Structure 1
Amino acid sequence: MRNDTRKLFNGFKQRIAQLNGIDNASEEFAVDPEVQQKLEKRTQQSSEFLNKIGFEFVDAQEGEKVGVGVSGTTASTTDTTTKEREAADISDLSKYGYRCEQTNYDTSIRYAKLDAWRHKKNFQTILRDALIRQKALDRIMIGLNGTSRAATSNRTANPLLQDVNKGWLQKYREDAPERVMNEGTKTPGKILLDSSGSGDYKNVDALVYDAVETLIDPVYADSTDLVVLCGRGLLFDKYFPIVNDADKNSEKVAGQLLLATKSIGELPAYRIPYFPKGAMLITSFSNLAIYIQNGTARRHIIDNPKRDRIEDFQSANESFVIERYDAGCLLENIVYK
């Protein structure tokens, strides 16, 4: 690391120490709760997807879900001459609550990259945002691909962070299998889309229509907040033929408009990075959340000359939460013939 870069990096550590009311950020410290919430807000805002879902700070490591923005019905009538009016509890009282587990977000940045940033006036902001951006991407990856929590995770064997924590899709598989469709009646082990009529559905729109009708509670099935979350593959399979066959100018324009307003089964479709292939999650953004336990954030910033890099060790207890399982469904093993 160059001398002028080191001065900037030391200034970054001093600012971190000042914000958290400590003497030295090069020793492990508990992140100030107010600073933690600000950092988590920045992490959320760094991703369009994370910015749409819920971030909740909870005091207990485990407990009942908060369920902000997701509720059941409350309207009713009561003949008060015969009985008292009863208030409806709109929280999710299922046996499935949340449990926050420690997740480490440990990041390193090479000296050479820091040296390349040294001439920029906003050096500290660039360094902070680089650390935040990777944390946001990791959270999305865990939320969509996490299937378990190993005592010691293995990034080589699980490149999509499958063993760091249980994500939203896994929560559906384990806690609400009745709201998961992963095979068809004609093709065991997969849901076959075949326009000739020999598959389980002729197209992906029909699949989504059926899933909303049969797997989502009627209270939420007609919600205007429902969206389809999927990966690049399913959107490509649906929309590429439209563009590929649009030879006339009018058809090309129609294809471009369709691509600009993507939908599946009349629901808005969003492509999410790292989403598993051949799968879709139908729900509202407010039904997905990340819970973070207050007071569990820890941090340790190291200058490691043995590896020619700086290392930022961060951790906090967190949980990936489905607020209400009846307000969504998971579709998997979708293939086109």
Structure 2
Amino acid sequence: MRNDTRLLFNAYLARQAELNGVTNATAKFSVAPTVEQKLEDRIRESADFLKLINVVPVDQQSGEKLGLGISQPAAGRTDTSQNDRQPRNLVALDSRDYTAIQTNFDTAIKYSQLDAWAKFPDFQVRVRNQTTQQIARDRLMIGWNGQTAAANTDLLANPLLQDVNIGWLKHIRTDAPARVMDGVKIGNAAGADYKTFDAAVFDAVNELLDQWHAEASDLVVIVGRQLLNDKYLGLLNSADAPTEKVALQTLMLSRTIGGKQAISVPYFPPRSILITSPDNLSIYWQNGTRRRMIQDNPKRDRIEDFQSVNEAYVVEDLGKAALIDGIELPSTEQDGWA
């Protein structure tokens, strides 16, 4: 890197060391609690959908899920001459555990990129934002596509981070298969299960959700990208948004589906529909587990930022989630469904 860039980079290292109370940011260190929380806040602010869900710290690596949100009604009556009144626990009744596992977010920035940023007064912010924005993208990919937590991940085989952690949809498929419709045919063709998306969503809401959630005002319909065209759902309100903005933006569709607001979230499976409330989905990150090291690697003409934190993806109340998976649409080319 250029000499002027080197001065800026050294100042960045000194600032990171100062913030975290260490003498050297190029040796592995534990991120200070206040810095850890600020970093989590910045990651959450980087993606629209992360602002809508729960991204919460937990103290234990493993434990019972927090049960955020309301899972059942509270109203009732008891003949106290015969029985005691029984208060209800309003959090989710199923006692499912979470395990926060280490996730590495290791990134690199080429010297040439740092040299290009050196002329800007917000050099340190640009270096920081590259990492936080990618962590936000990665969390969306894992939440929607995560299938396993492999000891050694393979990005080439799993380009949507399917092997990094178990995501929300996998939890629904595994822990609540009765709340999943799979291989549903939707369209105006022979053999259709439903003629319209409205009918499919209406049926899923009434048949798959717990009854007290079916009329909840905070339910949304999250729709896959292959369903987003004018033949099926109408045009996006934000179709002209810049590519970089769309990469982290939750798009509000121009119509409701089954009476619920429809939205499109980055990296959601292309042929699926999820009905839930955003705050029924959580990412737990374990306090005090974020580790970091920044190093200069002249052998690769880049700086490298090694970060890790323990995290888990949790569906708080499975009774408030319905998944329509593997949707098939009429195909003129195949003269059937695809």
TM-score strictly above 0.5: yes
Separation in structure 2 between the aligned mates of residue 290 and residue 70 of structure 1, nearest angstrom? 18
Q: Distance in 2 between matches of 1:27 and 1:180?
A: 47
2:232 is matched with which residue? 238
Which residue is equivalent to 2:13? Answer: 13
Paired residues, number: 315
1:26-105 alignment to 2 at 5 Å?
Answer: 26-105=26-105
Structure 1 position 242, deviation (Å): 12
Paired residue secondary structure (1:91): coil
Q: 1:277 is matched with which residue?
A: 270
Task: Report Cα offsets for 1:278-298 as digits up to 9, x if no partner.
Answer: 101110000001000111110
> How far is 1:303 from its partner?
0.8
Deviation at 1:103, TM superposition (A): 0.5
**Contact 2:103/2:310 (CA < 8 Å) preserved in 1?**
yes
1:121 aligns with 2:115: no
- Taking a change above 3 Å as real, the CA distance of residues 114 and 196 of structure 1, as seen in their structure-2 partners, is same
Which stretch shifts more, 163-172 or 225-234?
A: 225-234
Q: Report the alpha carbon displacement of residue 117 of structure 1 after superposing the two structures with TM.
A: 0.5
In the TM superposition, residue 198 of structure 1 has moved relative to its aligned partner by: 3.2
- CA shift, 1:192, in A, is 1.0
Aligned to 1:130: 130
1:64, distance to aligned residue in structure 2 (A): 1.3
Report the structure, 1 or 2, having the larger helix content.
1
In the alignment, is the contact (CA less than 8 A) between 2:236 and 2:254 conserved in 1? no
Show the counterpart of 1:162: 162
> Residue 203 of structure 1 aligns with which residue?
196
Specify the code of the residue in structure 1 equivalent to 2:44: Q
- Name the counterpart of 1:263: 256
Q: How far apart, in 2, do the equivalents of 1:7 and 1:131 lie?
A: 21
Q: Deviations over 1:154-197 (max 9, x none)?
A: 00111110000000000001111111110xxxxxxx21112145
For the structure 1 residues 282 and 22, does the alpha-carbon distance in structure 2 shift closer, same or farther, using more than 3 Å as the test? same
SS of residue in 1 equivalent to 2:313: strand
Contact conserved, 1:30 with 1:299, CA < 8 A, in 2? yes
Matching residue's letter, 1:328:
A
Q: Tell me which residue corresponds to 2:246.
A: none
Q: How does 1:306-321 map to 2 (within 5 A)?
A: 306-321=299-314
- The separation in 2 between residues aligned to 1:241 and 1:128, in whole angstroms, is 35
Q: Which residue of 1 aligns with 2:110?
A: 110
Partner of 1:187: none
Secondary structure in structure 1 of the residue aligned to 2:222: strand
Contact 1:70 1:323 in 2 (8 A): no
1:291 and 2:284 aligned: yes
- Report SS of the residue matched to 1:238: coil
Please, what TM-score do these two structures have when normalized by structure 2? 0.90
Residues 70 and 286 in structure 1, CA contact (< 8 A), matched pair in contact too = no
Contact 2:234-2:254 at 8 Å conserved across structures: no
> CA 1:330–1:30 in 2, change beyond 3 Å: closer, same or farther?
same
TM-score using structure 1 length: 0.90
2:281 corresponds to which letter in structure 1? Answer: L
CA distance in 2: counterparts of 1:170 and 1:242, whole angstroms: 27
Residues 1:195 and 1:112: Cα distance change in structure 2 (over 3 Å): same
Does structure 1 retain, via aligned residues, the 8 Å contact 2:253–2:264?
A: no
Structure 2 equivalent of residue 221 of structure 1? 214
Q: CA RMSD in A?
A: 1.7
Q: 1:48 to 1:242 in 2, by over 3 A?
A: closer
Whole-angstrom CA distance in 1 between matches of 2:64 and 2:302: 42
